[in-house]
Structure 1
């Protein structure tokens, strides 16, 4: 691992640790330490694309720190890698704070709230030049008392790695990193994309996943355990809804040690052809999905998968305006 990559990982981790002491008035100085002036930001709907550090400050961090004044940012996975000649750092964990003021039109609850995040940062000349960030906003709405869709599986506060070894600030074994990448790429490009030809049972899940693996999905889908749970409560309903979906449109894909991650804007494309997913009728609409995936390998198989889908954006593409529903719902508690 290059000294440069170690510095980049440390920079991302230090930013996370410093959020605890940041305020709406001071966060701009913190951003200036870590971000270029011309950083491009790709975020979740309704924040979406922002251009420049000043916009990231005013549209993301000031509103967050106003809504959650005691906010802290806890990475439980963090690692880096090179993709197509560029250096990236990936992290996931929870933003945690007391919901004291409105955020994204959501009324405050006064309660502790977990904002689950996944992020990729591309570095140039020692600072972040591009960020891709997904926050599970639908889960924030759930914690605020809104029940908008029948969840397919339990919705829980997502745990970090069971091995508690996800923050990789030190150098990792190159051979182990390559082994992790090979396993994930086989699963993505050979296993998942074989559905139309092989069907659900012919996708060879046991070649890639531990029998009792943990799959930690976004709100609306929920968390599953084991191959059967994954297929019954996520993969089967999802493929019924989007039978022609294709995966693998990645803007970055990294592996370091036993961890791998990918992101794409979009990473998955398909057509909404099946009824019933999240209780919704089929629309026939073509959709694309902003996704961040993080995996942990254990031995020869994948043991855990943290999954982020921009559900607000996806639902909008199939005719569901989540924030319009919130504006029209005054009796959600």
Structure 2
């Protein structure tokens, strides 16, 4: 059986550097005419091939000169969630000199690594028919010296690839279905937590889901952290204090591939803004959050977790325009 991951992988890693004539042929061959892309705010829905080209690929090429794609994870598998099908998912960076505005974010004139989490539905003919993409524009603002939030939680850093350096088209690894089983069990138990300690059952310890030396790589505004204690201190405590009734796991896609798994919801989470969060006073508003999680597992433990969140959309719902605010930022 042919590897369905390779056609979209080759397309996505070729299209940004192709000539105009080559790009036209590549889009026709690899992107369905009625393809629908849902991209993080402020792009949102792009309906049909031409809208996808004009609304996503062309702005990237215009803003990041000589842009290249640099995948850290690229996996694929059958989707456990309705409506099924085969999907590929990736953690990547778009690398180039940030010389023109991108979706309202003002340029730095310098090198940028724009991180992105991406899920693509691949049809039997090999074409991409559907996509969900979270580009981390908040981290791009940080790189440009225009960070619009008053504080940071964890360590803001470039997303590293897997410690094992084997996340792109993995082969000869563990059973991806078992990897996904582990991550699904963790997610099920993570929903409930102690409001005093913010802990959930089964997460740590000898029989826990997470390795003692787990690494959690978070998006702009949250940052990354080390070990469960760092995860609670630098992310979970602040998040659950602000959104104590959050309910997650509303996923359209869950796939496993070797030692890796990926899940995403659009939105995944519903919650109420009941406490202050990153400088925004509690509004009492009902909110939703678009989420992507990528996992590397080993020996029945979760070792690394890459997380993309559409925070520009979340803060928009709280009444804050982070793009507009970044225009007046002094680069905290």
Scaled by the length of structure 1, the TM-score of the pair is 0.92
Task: Give the equivalent residue in structure 2 for 1:95.
Answer: 94
Q: 2: distance between equivalents of 1:258 and 1:139?
A: 27
Task: Give the equivalent residue in structure 2 for 1:218.
Answer: 219
Q: Secondary structure at the match of 1:71?
A: strand
Q: Is the 8 A contact 2:171 2:258 kept in 1?
A: no
Deviation sequence 1:93-132 (CA, Å, 0-9, x none): 2111111222222232221101101111112232001011
Task: Give the equivalent residue in structure 1 for 2:38.
Answer: 42
Matches within 5 A, 1:27-176: 27-83=23-79, 84=82, 85-124=84-123, 125-149=125-149, 150-168=151-169, 170=171, 173=174, 176=175
Q: Tell me, yes or no, if structure 1 residue 187 matches structure 2 residue 186.
A: yes
- Judged with a 3 Å threshold, the aligned counterparts in structure 2 of structure 1 residues 63 and 27 are, in CA distance, closer, same or farther, namely farther
Q: 1: distance between equivalents of 2:271 and 2:119?
A: 24
How far 1:199 moved relative to its partner?
Answer: 5.5
How far 1:177 moved relative to its partner?
Answer: 1.6
Task: Give the equivalent residue in structure 1 for 2:260.
Answer: 259
How far 1:195 moved relative to its partner?
Answer: 1.6
How far 1:148 moved relative to its partner?
Answer: 1.3
- Judged with a 3 Å threshold, the aligned counterparts in structure 2 of structure 1 residues 70 and 200 are, in CA distance, closer, same or farther, namely same
Deviation sequence 1:135-182 (CA, Å, 0-9, x none): 101001111111211110110011000000001254655xx2222111
How far 1:202 moved relative to its partner?
Answer: 4.0
- Judged with a 3 Å threshold, the aligned counterparts in structure 2 of structure 1 residues 34 and 226 are, in CA distance, closer, same or farther, namely same
Q: Tell me, yes or no, if structure 1 residue 299 matches structure 2 residue 295.
A: no
Q: Which deviates further from its counterpart, 91-100 or 156-165?
A: 91-100
Structure 1 gaps, min length 5: none
Q: Is the 8 A contact 2:138 2:147 kept in 1?
A: no
How far 1:26 moved relative to its partner?
Answer: 5.7
- Judged with a 3 Å threshold, the aligned counterparts in structure 2 of structure 1 residues 77 and 66 are, in CA distance, closer, same or farther, namely same
Across the aligned residues of Structure 1 and Structure 2, the Cα RMSD in angstroms comes to 2.0
Q: Secondary structure at the match of 2:106?
A: coil
Q: Is the 8 A contact 2:148 2:329 kept in 1?
A: no
Q: Of 5, 8, 12, which aligns to 2:8?
A: 12
Q: Secondary structure at the match of 2:13?
A: helix
How far 1:209 moved relative to its partner?
Answer: 0.7
Q: Is the 8 A contact 1:24 1:63 kept in 2?
A: no
Q: Secondary structure at the match of 1:246?
A: coil
Q: Secondary structure at the match of 1:195?
A: coil
Q: Is the 8 A contact 2:98 2:109 kept in 1?
A: yes
How far 1:75 moved relative to its partner?
Answer: 1.2
How far 1:24 moved relative to its partner?
Answer: 6.9
Q: Which deviates further from its counterpart, 153-162 or 119-128?
A: 119-128
- Judged with a 3 Å threshold, the aligned counterparts in structure 2 of structure 1 residues 183 and 331 are, in CA distance, closer, same or farther, namely closer
Q: Secondary structure at the match of 1:107?
A: coil
Q: 1: distance between equivalents of 2:330 and 2:88?
A: 42
How far 1:204 moved relative to its partner?
Answer: 2.8
Q: Secondary structure at the match of 2:40?
A: coil
Q: Aligned pairs, how many?
A: 324
Matches within 5 A, 1:268-279: 268-275=269-276, 277-279=277-279
Task: Give the equivalent residue in structure 2 for 1:203.
Answer: 201
How far 1:220 moved relative to its partner?
Answer: 0.4
How far 1:256 moved relative to its partner?
Answer: 1.2
Deviation sequence 1:249-303 (CA, Å, 0-9, x none): 000000111100001101111111112x212211111111111100000212100
Structure 2 gaps, min length 5: none
